[in-house]
Amino acid sequence: MTPAPKLALVGLGAALTIVFSGCSAKSGEHADLVAGKQLFVQKCGSCHVLNRAGTKGTTGPNLDEAFRRDIQDGFGTSAVHGVVLKQIEIPNRMGVMPAKLVTGDDAEDVAAYVASVAAKSGKDGGLLATAVTPAGSSKPAVEKNGKLTIPADPTGQLLFENKTATGTAGEITVNMPNTSGVDHNIAIEGKGAGKIVAKGDSSFEANFAPGKYTYICEVPGHEAAGMKGTLTVK
C-alpha cells in the first residue's frame, strides 16, 4: 500500500456502514471486519503501521498518517476503503508490495477494516478486540538439553513469541521456528545468527557464559518494531 493522495469523492460508491455493537463485526453487506483485521495483521502488518491492528511494520507507509489529513478534511470510510482496495489491486510499482496480495472477499475485508480504523487512537472493541491473539508471551523460553527454541510470532507480527529466555552456561543451539510466511531470523551479537527464512527454522550454535544477551531479528526494521528479547544465562 502506498501513501494515500488527496482523495476525491467523485465516482466513489456509497459510504460503508460500520457496525461495532453487539455481536456484529460486518461492514456493509459483505465485508467482515474480524477477518479483515486478521488478514491485515498476517499479510500487511510486517510492512505497515496501523495503530488499532497493533502492527509496527516499517517497510511501507504508516497507514494512520497516510490517511489522517484526508479523514480530518471530512473524507469518510467509503473513500478510504476505495483507495486501499485500489492499492491492493495495483500497488506502487516502485514499492515491494506484490499485486493482489489478497483478492476477492479477502481484499474487501482488509480494505474495510483499514478504512474503519485508520488514524483512530485507542483500541478495538467487541469481537475486534480478540480477533488477533496478542503476540509475545510473558513466560520465558527455557533451554533444555542444550537447545533453546524461540518461535517467531505465527500471525506475522514483528515479534518473537517469547520476550525473555533462560539457559545454562555452555553450548546452546538457539532455534527460531517460523511459520508466518514473513522473513525473519534470530541473532545474538558476538554469538551468531541464523539464516533468514519465511518458513522453516533459523538457528545457530554458540558457547554462552553466564550473563544477559539480546536476541533480535536482523531483517531491516524488525528489531526497531519490537522483534527482540533478553536471554539470561546462568
Domains of the chain and CATH, by start: 26-130 (1.10.760.10), 141-233 (2.60.40.420)
pLDDT of residue 59: 81
Largest pairwise CA distance in the chain: 67
CA 3, 184, 189, 49 torsion-angle sign? positive
Share of the chain above pLDDT 90, in %: 63
> Does residue 3 register a pLDDT over 70?
no
> Is the distance from CB of 41 to CB of 107 less than 8 angstroms?
no
Hey, what's the cell of 9?
A: 469523492
Mean pLDDT for the chain? Answer: 85
pLDDT of residue 212: 98
pLDDT of residue 28: 42
pLDDT range class, residue 138, cuts 50, 70, 90: low
pLDDT of residue 9: 29
Tens of pLDDT along 157-186?
Answer: 899 999 999 999 999 999 999 999 899 999
Q: What is the mean pLDDT of residues 214-223?
A: 94
pLDDT of residue 18: 33
> Does residue 56 register a pLDDT over 50?
yes
pLDDT of residue 1: 52
Q: What is the mean pLDDT of residues 203-216?
A: 98
Question: What is the Cα–Cα distance from 12 to 162, expressed in whole angstroms?
Answer: 44
